Structure 1
Amino acid sequence: MIHRRLVTLLLLALAMTAFAVEARAQDARLEAARKEGKVVWYTSLALTSSEKVAKLFEAAYPGIKVEVHRTGSQRILQRMMQELQANIKNVDVVHTSDAGHYVLLKDKKLLMRYTPAGVDEFAAGFKDKDGYHYGLRATVNVIAYNTKAIPAAEAPRTWKDLTDPKWRGRLVTAHPGYSGVIATHVLALVHLHGWDYFKALAQNKPMLVQSAVDPSGVVASGERPVAVDGGDYTFYQVKKKGNPIEIVYPKEGVPLVVSPSAITAFAPHPNAAKLFTDFIFSRDVQQVLADTEGLYSGHPKVTYPPDKPRLSDLKLLSVDPEELEKRNEEIKTRFVELFGA
C-alpha cells in the first residue's frame, strides 16, 4: 500500500514538473513574441474575416500586432516568390486557398515544420503528414442566385444547368488566375464534366471578376443574378446581412477547398508566428470562423449554425494538391483561352 502511494505521488510530481516546464516554455515564447512586436500575415481569407481574426489575436496578446496583407491566393504566391528573389524576407505566416502552393513551398524548403497545439485532433484531410502545413479553414464552391431576379423554380440546380442559353449575359464567375478557391473549383469540375463544360459555360458570356469573394456582391446587387462559382461562406455572410441571395449545393458534387496555413522557414518574427498559429488553430477561433464567417473546420469539436449544411451531408469533390500544383498553369491558360481574360 505504501509502495503504491509512493508511486502515485511520484507520478503526480512528474506531471506537475512537466506542466511547470511547459508553462515556463509558453511564458518564454510569449515574452519573445512581445519583443518581436508583430506577425506578418499573408492571407487570402476575406478582408473582413482576416481583420476580425487579427483583432481577436491583438486583444488576446496586447503588444503584438498582426500586419494583415490580404489578396488572392495566386497573388500571394507570386508576391512571396518575387520578394525572395529580391532577398526580401517579410512574411511570417502564409495562408492561401490553393493547396498546390504548399506542395511547391515545401519542395523548395520554404516552410517551417511546426505543429500547432491541438491540431492532432483535426480531420486527416486538414493535416500535412510531414507537419509543415495545416488546413485553417474549408469552404465549398456553390451556385448562388438573386431571389428578387429569379424565382426558385427557375433557378439552376446543377453545374450543367448553367450552360443553358437562357443564362447568357446573366452569370458571374471568379478567376483561377487570381483565386485558389476557383483554381480548385475548375480542376474539380474538369474531373467531373471535362473542359467541354467550361467551353459551354463560356458561350454564356459570364462577367469575370477576380476573387472568389467577389461574385457574392455582384449577385446581391443584381448586376448579374447568378454566380457560377464562389466559396459558400461569402454568400452565407452576404445572405445573413439580409441580401436576396439563395445558395445551391449541386447534388452531383461541390468542390471542397481546404485552405492551408504555414509558417515560413525564414519568418522574421518566428515566436510571434508560432503564437499566432496556435491561436488561429485553437478551438475558440475555429468556432468563431464557423459561427460568424460560415466556414468549415477540421476541428472535431466545432459546431455549425443550423442553417449551414454539414460537410457529411454533401457530396464533396476533392482534388489532389500535387495535381493542382502540376496543372495550375494549364488551368489558368485554358480558362483565359475560353473566357477571354
Structure 2
Amino acid sequence: MDDAEWNALVDAAKSEGELVVYSSLSGVETSFEKFEEAYPGISITVERAPTSDLITRLDQEGAVNAPGADVTLHSQTGWFDASDEEGRFAALKVGPDQAAAGWEDHLDGKSYPFVFSNAYVVGYNTKSARPVKNMSEFLNVAANAKIGVIDAEISTAQSFLYSLWQDAYGDDFMKRISDLDPTVYSSNVPLAQGLAAGEIDYGIGLAPSTVVGLKQEGAPVDYVVPDEATSGVPYHAAALSNAPHPNAAQLFVNWLMSEAGAAQFVAHHAPASTPVATTGSIPWGEIPTPEDSGWTQQDHEEFIKSEWTPQFG
C-alpha cells in the first residue's frame, strides 16, 4: 500500500473502533495495550485458549461463515497453510513501513506472517530443583525428580523438538525420558501450573509464555533456554476473510509485523526471535522451527507412531 492508501486504512480502522483476537499465547493483553496506545479509539477483545481449542472454534465459525475473530494468533503452522489455501484469510495489505522492512520477501506470497518464534525451555520449580544447561545435564539430575512433559501430538512444533533431542542424544532418548515416569500434559498451561504448585520439579518441552506469567505473579518457577538441541514455537497471525472489523484486522496484523510489535514479543514473551530486529531479540534463524527445517505433518505423524506412542501411549 502507498501512504495515501495506508492512511485511509488507518482512518477506517479507527471508525470500526474495535477488534477481536483469538490467541493461544498467554499474557498478550499487556502486549496489545501498546497497539491501543498507538491507535487510540480501537479497543481489543482477546479470546485466549489452547491452540487446539482455538482451531476447533475457528473451524466451526468458518464452516458456517459466522462472524467471530478478526485476527488469530497461534502456533499451528499446518492450520495456517491449509486455511490460506482454502481462502479463509483476507489478502494481507502490507503497509509502507512493513514493505520497507522486507516483509514481502518474508511472506513469500502467503496471506499470513510468521511474526515471532518462542524458544522452548526447561522450566523448573525453584524450591525443589536447580537449573540445567541442556537435556543431557537434565538426565543426569532427573532420576529422583518429578517430571512433566508436553504431549508430542499437540503440534508439529512439539514433535520437531523431540526429534531434535533424538538426533542430538541418541535414538533411545525418548525411552530414557519415558523411564523417568513423567506426567504427560495436554498443553503448556496445566504443566506450568503444576510446576508452580510443586506437583512436578521440572517441565520439559515447555513454551515459556505461561512460566513467565506465573513467575511475574511470584510463583516459585523459572526456566532456562537449553544451550543445545532446542527449537522454537512458531507463531503466525492472520486476518480472517469474514472479519467483522476488516480494516482494524489489517492494521493490527501490520502492527504485529512492525518493530513496535516485535518489541512487545521480546518484552513479554521472551526468549523471542523476531523477523524485524529489535533490542533483546534472538537473531532470526538461530532458533530452528518446523517450518524452516522442512518438518512436515507427515513427519509429525510418523514420529508419533514410531517414537512417541510406543513410549507414552
Q: Name the TM-score class by shorter chain.
A: 0.7 to 0.9
Q: Distance in 2 between the 1:121 and 1:331 partners?
A: 40
Identity of aligned residues (%): 22
- Given the superposition, is the C-alpha separation of residues 76 and 35 from structure 1 closer, same or farther in structure 2, using an over 3 Å criterion? same
Q: Distance in 2 between matches of 1:235 and 1:195?
A: 29
Match of 2:296 in 1: 324
Aligned equivalent of 2:109: 130
Counterparts of 1:104 and 1:39, CA distance in 2: 24
Report matched runs for 1:200-239 at 5 Å: 200-239=176-215
Cα 1:30–1:44 change in 2 (3 A) is same
The counterpart of 2:18, out of the listed 32, 38, 53, is 38
Q: Does 1:52 align with 2:30?
A: yes
Q: Which residue of 2 aligns with 1:256?
A: 232
Q: In 1, distance between residues paired with 2:87 and 2:284?
A: 38
Q: Superposition pairs for residues 263-302 of structure 1, below 5 Å?
A: 263-302=239-278
Q: Indicate if the aligned counterparts of 1:115 and 1:131 stay in contact, CA closer than 8 A.
A: no
Secondary structure (helix, strand or coil) at the match of 1:261 reads strand
Match of 2:8 in 1: 28
- The letter for the 1-side match of 2:51 is S
Measured at CA, do residues 271 and 183 of structure 1 come closer, stay the same or move farther in structure 2, by a change above 3 Å? farther
Q: What amino acid sits opposite 2:194 in the alignment?
A: V
What residue in structure 1 maps to residue 125 of structure 2? Answer: 146
Query: 1:336: Cα distance to partner?
Result: 5.5
Residue number in structure 2 paired with 1:74: 52
State the shift of 1:227 in Å.
Answer: 1.0
Give secondary structure in 2 for the equivalent of 1:292.
helix
Structure 2: distance between partners of 1:314 and 1:171? 30
| Number of equivalences | 309
Please tell me whether the aligned partners of residues 96 and 260 of structure 1 are also in contact (alpha carbons under 8 angstroms): yes
8 Å Cα contact 1:127/1:133 also seen in 2: no
- Aligned residue for 1:205, secondary structure, equals coil
Aligned residue for 2:65?
Answer: 87
SS of residue in 2 equivalent to 1:45: coil
Q: How far apart, CA to CA, are the structure 1 residues paired with 2:192 and 2:61?
A: 32
Does the residue aligned with 2:231 lie in a helix, a strand or coil? strand
2:307 pairs with 1:339: no
Provide, for residues 194-237 of structure 1, a one-character-per-residue CA deviation record: whole Å limited to 9, x for no partner.
77432332232222333324433322332211111212344345
Shift of 1:191: 5.0
| 1:302 Cα deviation from its structure 2 partner | 0.9
**Per-residue deviation, 1:170:** 0.3
Contact 2:274/2:282, CA 8 A, preserved across alignment:
no
Q: Deviations over 1:271-290 (max 9, x none)?
A: 11111112222222321221
Tell me the distance in 2 between the aligned counterparts of 1:122 and 1:101. 26
Rg comparison, structure with higher value: 1
Map Cα deviations across residues 93-134 of structure 1 (whole Å, 9 max, x no partner): 12111222222222223223315433456689x933114221
Letter of the structure 2 residue corresponding to residue 78 of structure 1: T
Of 318-327 and 200-209, more deviation after overlay is shown by 318-327
How large is the Cα RMSD of the aligned pairs? 3.5
Give 3-state SS (helix, strand or coil) of 2:20's partner: strand
Distance 1:312 1:26 in 2: 29
> Is contact 2:160-2:295 (8 Å) kept?
no
Q: Secondary structure at the match of 2:188?
A: coil
* Structure 2 gap ranges (5+): none
Give 1:30 shift.
Answer: 3.1
For the 8 Å contact 1:253–1:316, the answer to whether it is kept is no
Q: 1:324 to 1:245 in 2, by over 3 A?
A: same
Relative to structure 1, the CA distance from residue 195 to residue 42 in structure 2 (aligned partners, 3 Å threshold; closer, same or farther) is farther
For 2:92 and 2:203, the matched residues in 1 are separated by: 38
SS of residue matched to 1:320: helix
1:24-68, CA deviations, whole angstroms, 9 ceiling, x for partnerless residues?
x3443234224434322121111x2x2223433334434433232
Give the counterpart letter for 1:39 in structure 2.
Answer: L
Matched residue, 1:9: none
What TM-score, normalized to structure 2? Answer: 0.80
